[in-house]
Amino acid sequence: MSGLVIEQLSKTYDRQPVLEDLNLEVEAGGLQVVLGPSGCGKSTLLRLISGLETPDRGKIILDGRDITDLEPQKRKTAMVFQNYALYPHMTVFDNIAFPLKVTRTPKGELVKIVGETAKLLELDKLLDRRPAQLSGGQRQRVALGRGLVRQPSIFLLDEPLSNLDAALRMKMRQEIVALQKRLGITMIYVTHDQIEALTMADRMIVLKDGHLRQNGTPSEIYNNPQDSFVASFIGTPPINLFEDEIKNGAMKKLPIQFGHDIKDGHYQIGIRPEYIILDAQGSIAGKIVSREYIGAVSYIKIRVNDLLITVTAESDNEKYKNGQPLRLTVDYRNILLFDHNTGKRIVI
Contact footprint for ligand ADP (CB under 6 A): 13-14, 18, 36, 38-44
> Minimum distance from CB of 158 to Mg ion (Å)?
6
Q: How far apart are CA 342 and CA 262, in angstroms?
A: 18
Of the pair 79, 100, the CB lying nearest ligand ADP is at 79
DSSP-assigned states of every residue in 150-180: T--SEEEEESTTTTS-HHHHHHHHHHHHHHH
> Minimum distance from CB of 201 to ligand ADP (Å)?
17
What secondary structure letter does DSSP report for 9?
Answer: E
Of the pair 52, 178, the CB lying nearest ligand ADP is at 52
Q: Which residues are CB-neighbours of 211 under 8 A, at least 6 positions away?
A: 20, 21
CA-wise closest residue to 86 among 53, 48, 125, 126? 126
Which among 43-51, 70-78, 222-230, 299-307 is the span making contact with Mg ion, rule CB under 5 A? Answer: 43-51
Q: How far apart are CA 205 and CA 73, in angstroms?
A: 27
Task: Give me Rg for the CA atoms of the chain.
Answer: 24
Of the pair 82, 315, the CB lying nearest ligand ADP is at 82
> Minimum distance from CB of 81 to ligand ADP (Å)?
11
> Is 214 a residue that touches Mg ion (CB under 5 A)?
no
The residue with its CB nearest to Mg ion is: 43
Of the pair 50, 312, the CB lying nearest ligand ADP is at 50
Q: Which residues are CB-neighbours of 159 under 8 A, at least 6 positions away?
A: 42, 82, 190, 191, 192
> Minimum distance from CB of 42 to Mg ion (Å)?
5
Q: How far apart are CA 126 and CA 86, in angstroms?
A: 15
> Minimum distance from CB of 193 to ligand ADP (Å)?
12
Residue 12, number of CB atoms within 10 A of its CB: 14
Give how far Cα 283 sits from Cα of 153, 277, 326, Å: 56, 11, 10
Which among 36-44, 118-126, 217-225, 333-341 is the span making contact with Mg ion, rule CB under 5 A? Answer: 36-44
Query: Are the CB atoms for 322 and 287 separated by under 8 Å?
Result: no
Binding at 179: pick from ligand ADP, Mg ion, none (beta carbon under 5-8 Å per type)? none
CA-wise closest residue to 3 among 185, 216, 218? 185
Q: How far apart are CA 4 and CA 49, in angstroms?
A: 9
> Is 191 a residue that touches Mg ion (CB under 5 A)?
no
Binds Mg ion (CB under 5 A): choice among 9, 20, 22, 43:
43
Of the pair 52, 102, the CB lying nearest ligand ADP is at 52
> Minimum distance from CB of 3 to Mg ion (Å)?
23
> 104's torsion region: left (phi>0), alpha (psi -120 to 50) or beta?
left
> Minimum distance from CB of 39 to Mg ion (Å)?
8
Binding at 36: pick from Mg ion, ligand ADP, none (beta carbon under 5-8 Å per type)? ligand ADP
> Is 226 a residue that touches Mg ion (CB under 5 A)?
no
Binding at 286: pick from ligand ADP, Mg ion, none (beta carbon under 5-8 Å per type)? none
Binding at 33: pick from Mg ion, ligand ADP, none (beta carbon under 5-8 Å per type)? none
> Minimum distance from CB of 305 to Mg ion (Å)?
41
CA-wise closest residue to 47 among 77, 7, 87? 77
Binding site for Mg ion (CB under 5 A): 43
